[in-house]
Amino acid sequence: MARRNTKLLPSLGILLVAGGILLLLWFGWLWFNPGPAPYRYQLVTEGGIDQFPQLGLPAGIDPALKLAQYEVYAEGVDQPLALTHTARLGTEPPVRLDWENHTSELLVTVDNKLSELAALSVAIAKHAPKDALILAWWDTSRQVNLLAGRDTLFTTRIGEPLIVPTPWLERTDAIKRYENEFWGAPAGEQERATFQRFADALLAPPETGAALLRELAGNREAYIAIHVNDLYKLGLMRPKQFDVTYKNFPMEGNMHGLIGYLKTWMQSNQFDTYTLQSISDKMVRAYFLHKGPNSESLIAQMLPFTESQPLELQALQLIYQQGGYWVYKIPAPGDSASASGADLPEGT
């Protein structure tokens, strides 16, 4: 079951004191002011690609793309809780490109870096044929479709999982309505059912999961892109099948000190393996799993847990890795992935 762990190390308290104060103010306000969605997206600036050079978006993307920057404000709190950029073509619904959380609690979605997404889009545009199909979590799929110009299995917003902090739980329905109004209505039943099949593949043993992915891709040349934070999203969707938890750790001193903290926490909480996601220059997020079906699932074997070897994965062929993203080629029917890692691009 996906679990949130927000107990902080003593040294981390100083780093997150501003976020903690924001959360206390926000929780207190909500206690006395129940109502509709407790936050809003406030537009900061919008325009064409040339007005956002600092984002480092890949060259060659559609010049008609319109970008916008939003800050996320909660009721009764003056400082933004999060920052996000969006992109859209014409009258199409906006696509979220990144999410920068300014608090110690996960809000709405998980953190992701636009710099990593831009690098992923460049790699896919360079190494995947134009007629290839990309399989990925629904949000990554929409981003890749927009920035890399490749067909994706999922093309509309599915909206799962929606991360609702405890103080907002009574307003879950209002939050869903607000998200639908802002981002566009979620996908239809057929695409949502296909997405559940995609989740089945990630949770299955590697060989079984790879076969399910090939079934979803049909006869097309196909690739799967996974991000480390997909672990937590999968756990929230399938809590009875995938027991994952996370904890943030400060990047202080040398790496040996961090690894020591990680191992001590993991052992004291009876987990067996972990992998890391870089949140910022000062923070990393560790995801923890137990040995058994969780750590032996396809998604866990695709990612660099201490008990996995992605370079040696036989069910899929690793072709790209940078930051939190790992991209694998799905073998064609009757083929094997025994050449895994043979033609890794320079980003790996």
Q: State mean pLDDT over 37-45.
A: 96
pLDDT in tens, 252-264: 767 777 788 888 8
Strand-pair category, 133-136 with 222-227? parallel
The pTM score is: 0.85
Q: Which residues on neighbouring strands pair with residue 330, listed in sequence order? A: 222
Mean pLDDT for the stretch of residues 159-185: 93
End-to-end Cα distance, the chain: 31
The pLDDT tens digits of the residues spanning 287-327 come to 999 999 999 999 999 999 998 999 999 999 999 998 999 99
* Angle at CA of residue 222, ends 221 and 224, nearest 5°: 165
Label residue 344 by pLDDT band (50, 70, 90).
very low
- Evaluate whether 295 touches 305 at the Cβ level (below 8 Å): yes
Q: Would the CA dihedral through 323, 98, 254, 6 be positive or negative?
A: negative
Give the residues across from 134 on adjacent strands.
152, 223
Q: Is the pLDDT of residue 30 over 70?
A: no
- Residue 15: pLDDT band (50, 70, 90) is very low
H or E element in which residue 84 lies? strand 82-88
What is d(CA 232, CA 239) in angstroms, rounded to the nearest whole number?
A: 10
pLDDT at 229 over 80: yes
pLDDT, residue 258, reads 79
Angstrom distances, CA of residue 203 to CA of 74, 216, 294: 35, 15, 7
Average pLDDT of every residue of the chain: 87
Please indicate whether residue 260 or residue 100 has the higher confidence score (pLDDT): 100
Which residues, in sequence order, are bridge partners of residue 244? 289
Average pLDDT, integer, range 204-208: 97
Inform me whether the pLDDT recorded for 181 exceeds 60. yes
Question: In 101-225, where does DSSP find H-type helix?
Answer: 114-127, 138-148, 172-183, 189-203, 206-217
3-class secondary structure, 244: strand
